[in-house]
Amino acid sequence: MATEQLTLGPEERRKLLRGSFIFRDVDEAAVDRLAGVAQLRTLERGQHLFSQGDDGNALYAVANGLVRIWIGGAAGKELTLAMMEPGDVFGEIALLDGLSRTTSATAAADCALLVLGRSPFLEVLRTDGNLAQHLIELLCERMRNNTETISDFAFLDLRGRLARKLHELAIAHGEQTKAGLLIGLRLSQSELAQMLGVTREAVNKQLHAWADKSVLKLDKGKVVVRDMAALKRAADPVRD
Amino acid sequence: MATEQLTLGPEERRKLLRGSFIFRDVDEAAVDRLAGVAQLRTLERGQHLFSQGDDGNALYAVANGLVRIWIGGAAGKELTLAMMEPGDVFGEIALLDGLSRTTSATAAADCALLVLGRSPFLEVLRTDGNLAQHLIELLCERMRNNTETISDFAFLDLRGRLARKLHELAIAHGEQTKAGLLIGLRLSQSELAQMLGVTREAVNKQLHAWADKSVLKLDKGKVVVRDMAALKRAADPVRD
DNA sequence: ATCCCGTTGTGATCCGGCTCACAGCCGGTC
DNA sequence: GACCGGCTGTGAGCCGGATCACAACGGGAT
């Protein structure tokens, strides 16, 4: 469907890095140097990039596609923590502290990634205070997200967590249609369930409960949000 | 019981900051300057320091006592995320990104804290790459902890989470006695429950289940671990 | 058109943990 | 000592979601 981007010219690489938030205001020559030594890596949907526990000596920038960041539990269970989109950077934790990867990463769609090696990156980090500053901001943002996730697990049931997630998806990837906000990302109910740490069946039942109340409309795998306010309310622990 | 430390001399302040991991290798004059402008703040057990949502314009270093870091949910429920001990630093997220506090902080024992104001701290941060580097490492460590917490919530039941927590507490605060590893921190079952996001009753029942199997011994509010290996096993999702 | 395989839809059953309701207990305080 | 407030111990009942087991659907490949 999407045009495959199998290669990236030098100019495109520079653009990608410069466009990324963490390299804003960083010395341009240094960024260009990084762009020069970066590897291009393409992945097909479903292909594995790295696993929890691996040594992590690279930082990734998404040029194209979608990468699922997840952790695994007993019996093959998986919890999806985030989806990385074009322009996003990930893999910074293990790169920065030199320990093993805390999560796994898998292509959720065909992808093109820029791979920045550890040593050239750390070299720029050592000399450029702006990069350090932006990395700190990135890490703070991640911390806030993580804390939110913990809060959701601790205080909300399936219904509340699903409501929040749909609300978030509708805002981030919603397309306005006459029926309501259509959620752009094609997510199966199983994938949705994996983002919430619940079963697919339970998600299915809650979606239909909302469809019955006209909060949502379900149309062959796509979800259309008809009543954002009701979702918002359901996400609050104050029940209706 | 503990000797109250109501004041800290200039020398002690410097020592505290220098001993803190984030100020290692940072220009000594700068650290001393920070120590000079830092405020001393004492708190009695139960006293509130800041709340989720507040503006956060200070960094705290624990000189003495214990600070509980927590988030709140519906109906007054609380989840304890961490306990800060002497030598620990906290409150960095809101300080660094300028947004509101992600957590609340309450004294879990009488405390003496050093309060570093935003602007002098950021000034040193701007000029000293080592401080930035250490902050990045601190944030990475927090991220790892958070990810672990999420994993626990997603994949472990009460039994597994409690086993892990006790194991951790025994290692961090265990005192060897003839009966086994006595957990030093005086934690009520409610406090334990708050660290796991479960009810006090459920914790009580699991503790007694283990006591019956001689994994633990319960002695007037104190927990003695008799069989660390069994705890470790219970923390694995592979059941015994 | 046919065959698949991944997805959706839905009931039956089971179980962990919550809620509620008390009953000792232990340590302080007056 | 007598009283009180916070902790501990424990049972009854309930409920949200997991598990299991199918049925039906839809879209791609051949």
Among residues of chain A, what percentage have pLDDT more than 90? 70
Measure, in angstroms, how far nucleotide C24 C1' is from residue B164 CA. Answer: 30
A86 touches strand D (CB under 7 A): no
Q: What is the mean pLDDT of chain A?
A: 91
Round to whole Å and give the CA distance between B89 and B85.
9
Mean pLDDT of B103-121: 94
pLDDT digits 0-9 by tens, B55-107: 999 999 999 999 999 999 988 899 999 999 999 999 999 999 999 999 999 99
Report the largest interatomic distance among the alpha carbons of chain B, rounded to a whole angstrom: 59
Helix then strand then coil, % of chain A, to nearest 5: 50, 25, 30
Residues 152-191 of A with CB under 7 A from strand D: 157-159
Residue A206: nearest nucleotide (C-alpha to C1')? D17
Round to whole Å and give the CA distance between B177 and B141.
32
Round to whole Å and give the CA distance between A232 and A12.
40
Q: Which residue is nearest to nucleotide C26 (CA to C1')?
A: B220
Q: Is residue B102 less than 8 Å (CB to CB) from chain A?
A: yes
More confident residue, B101 or A221: B101
A219-223, B119-123, B221-225: least confident range: A219-223
Judged against a pLDDT cut of 70, whether residue B5 lies above it is answered with no
In this prediction, residue B152 carries a pLDDT of 97
Question: Cα A121 vs. chain centroid, distance in angstroms?
Answer: 22
Measure, in angstroms, how far nucleotide D27 C1' is from residue A182 CA. Answer: 21
Round to whole Å and give the CA distance between A26 and A31.
7
The Cα of B171 is separated from the nearest Cα of chain A by a number of Å equal to 21
In this prediction, residue A1 carries a pLDDT of 40
Q: Choose among B13, B9, B5, B49: nearest CA to B32.
A: B13
In the block, residue with structure tokens 């430390």: B5
Q: Is residue A73 less than 8 Å (CB to CB) from chain B?
A: yes
Count CA within 13 A, CB hemisphere, residue B43.
Answer: 24
Cβ within 7 Å of nucleic strand C, residues:
A 188-190, 200-201, 204-205, 207-208, 218, 221; B 157-159, 197-199, 201-202, 220
Mean pLDDT of A60-79: 93
A127, closest residue in chain B (CA to CA): B129
In this prediction, residue A3 carries a pLDDT of 42
Q: Is residue B103 less than 8 Å (CB to CB) from chain A?
A: yes
Rounded to the nearest 10 degrees, how much is the dihedral formed by the CA atoms of A117, A118, A123, A127?
Answer: 100
pLDDT digits 0-9 by tens, B211-237: 999 999 998 888 999 999 999 999 886
Measure, in angstroms, how far nucleotide D30 C1' is from residue A124 CA. Answer: 54
CB contact under 8 A, A154 and B79: yes
In this prediction, residue B1 carries a pLDDT of 39
In this prediction, residue B68 carries a pLDDT of 96
CB contact under 8 A, A139 and B144: no
In this prediction, residue B12 carries a pLDDT of 78
Q: Which of B97, B129, B146 sits opposite A147 (nearest CB)?
A: B146
Q: State the sign of the Cα–Cα–Cα–Cα dihedral B185, B190, B191, B195.
A: positive
> Contact B68/B187 with Cβ under 8 angstroms?
no
3-state SS, residue A6 = coil
A182-191, B7-16, B166-175: least confident range: B7-16
The Cα of B235 is separated from the nearest Cα of chain A by a number of Å equal to 11
pLDDT digits 0-9 by tens, A102-154: 999 999 999 999 999 999 999 999 989 899 999 999 999 999 999 999 999 99
Quote the pTM value: 0.93
pLDDT digits 0-9 by tens, A148-182: 999 999 999 999 999 999 999 999 998 888 878 88
Helix then strand then coil, % of chain B, to nearest 5: 50, 25, 30
Q: Which of B71, B103, B155 sits opposite A77 (nearest CB)?
A: B155
**What would the two tokens of residue B21 be?**
């991991």
Cβ contacts of A131 on chain B, cutoff 8 Å: none
Q: For residue A31, give Cα distances in angstroms to A22, A34, A88.
A: 11, 5, 16
Sheet holding B180-183, edge to edge: B174-177, B180-183, B222-225, B216-219
Cβ contacts of A77 on chain B, cutoff 8 Å: 154-155
Q: Is residue B189 less than 8 Å (CB to CB) from chain A?
A: no
* Exposed / middle / buried, residue A57 (Cβ in 10 Å: 0-12, 13-18, 19+): middle
The Cα of A1 is separated from the nearest Cα of chain B by a number of Å equal to 34
CB contact under 8 A, A150 and B154: no
Q: Mutating which of B146, B157, B159, B161 best tests the A interface, going by the most A Cβ atoms within 10 A?
A: B146
Round to whole Å and give the CA distance between A34 and A227.
46
Round to whole Å and give the CA distance between B200 and B198.
7
Q: b/e map of A200-214 (b: 16 or more CB within 10 Å)? A: eebbeebbeebbeee
In this prediction, residue B6 carries a pLDDT of 57
More confident residue, B215 or B13: B215
Q: Is residue A145 less than 8 Å (CB to CB) from chain B?
A: no
pLDDT digits 0-9 by tens, B160-211: 999 999 999 999 998 888 888 888 888 999 999 999 999 999 999 999 999 9
Round to whole Å and give the CA distance between B200 and B193.
5
The Cα of A175 is separated from the nearest Cα of chain B by a number of Å equal to 30
Cβ atoms within 10 Å of B218's Cβ, excluding its own: 14
CB contact under 8 A, B147 and A81: yes
Q: For residue B138, give Cα distances in angstroms to A162, B23, B77, B90, B93.
A: 32, 11, 28, 10, 10
